[in-house]
A and B are shown apart, each in its own frame.
Chain A
């Protein structure tokens, strides 16, 4: 049982480049989330999805886009990367009636 899988695990981008982070879960969870983790700031919600084909903004959505074309996958896109987006990104998922996340292992992104 893989749980929540994030790819890639590490990436270095140049300013202005684009990339997509993939999150896949095999637990049939309805809800999925993308967070960023920065030192001293905990985790902040970027975007979330409550079902296939639906997405919503979280606390820090600017500069990011998301898509959930399939229930098991939640993609996070950076159209034009900026150094301020250097962070560790975590994906999480949960069942509709069961608070508490299952987390992926994270993607460490550096924008130079």
Chain B
């Protein structure tokens, strides 16, 4: 069965600094991969997805992620953090058919002035 590991339950960066949120998955077959963002007391919003096209995927709000099959990773990056990026971020992978998703435990991003 698939699993998703997000390294670091909390990440803190300064405004303007690089954001790097790590995600590793376990699969010998490349799955579909997703990053979602959750702002306080809201639902999950899709940031970006990898569906076997380009390995570098660009999403909303300046985020991007690179699929690296050799490292089974799909890390999320943003060159310059903004205060409005403070939220919880979830990596997810398809597993077991019917578009079912397995989610990582989440990484809470804090952005300080």
A interface size (C-beta, 8 A): 24
Question: Does B49 touch A at the CB level, under 8 Å?
Answer: yes
Chain B residue with the shortest CB-CB distance to A4: B43
Tell me if B44 and A58 are in contact (CB < 8 A).
Answer: no
Pairwise interchain contact A99-B49, C-beta atoms closer than 8 A = yes
- Chain B residues positioned under 8 Å from A98 (CB to CB): 99
Q: Which of A14-22, A35-43, A64-72, A76-84 forms part of the interface with chain B?
A: A35-43
Other-chain contact of B46, A41, A100, A106 (Cβ < 8 Å)? A100
User: CA of A56 to CA of B98 in the docked complex: distance in angstroms?
Assistant: 11
A40 to B45, CA, bound (A): 19
At the interface, yes or no: B80 with Cβ under 8 Å from chain A?
no
In whole Å, how far is B45's beta carbon from the nearest beta carbon of chain A?
A: 8
* A 9-31 binary contact with B (CB < 8 Å = 1; else 0): 00000000000000000000001
CA gap between A11 and B8 in the complex, in Å: 32
Within 8 A of B (CB), among A84-102: 90, 94, 96, 98-101
Please provide the chain B residues from 1 to 25 with a CB less than 8 Å away from any CB of chain A in the complex.
Answer: 4, 9
Size bin of chain B's contact surface? 20 to 34
Taking a contact as CB atoms under 8 Å apart, the answer to whether B98 and A31 are in contact is: yes
Q: Which residues of A51-68 have CB atoms within 8 Å of chain B's CB atoms?
A: 56, 58
A110 within 8 A of B: no
Given contacts A40-B9, A43-B90, A105-B42, contact A31 B99 (CB under 8 A): yes
Residues of A within 8 A of B100 (CB): 33, 45, 48, 58
Find the B residue at minimum CB distance from A56: B98
Complex: A31 Cα to B101 Cα, angstroms: 12
A contact residues vs B (CB 8 Å cutoff): 31, 33, 35, 40-45, 48, 50, 56, 58, 90, 94, 96, 98-101, 103-106
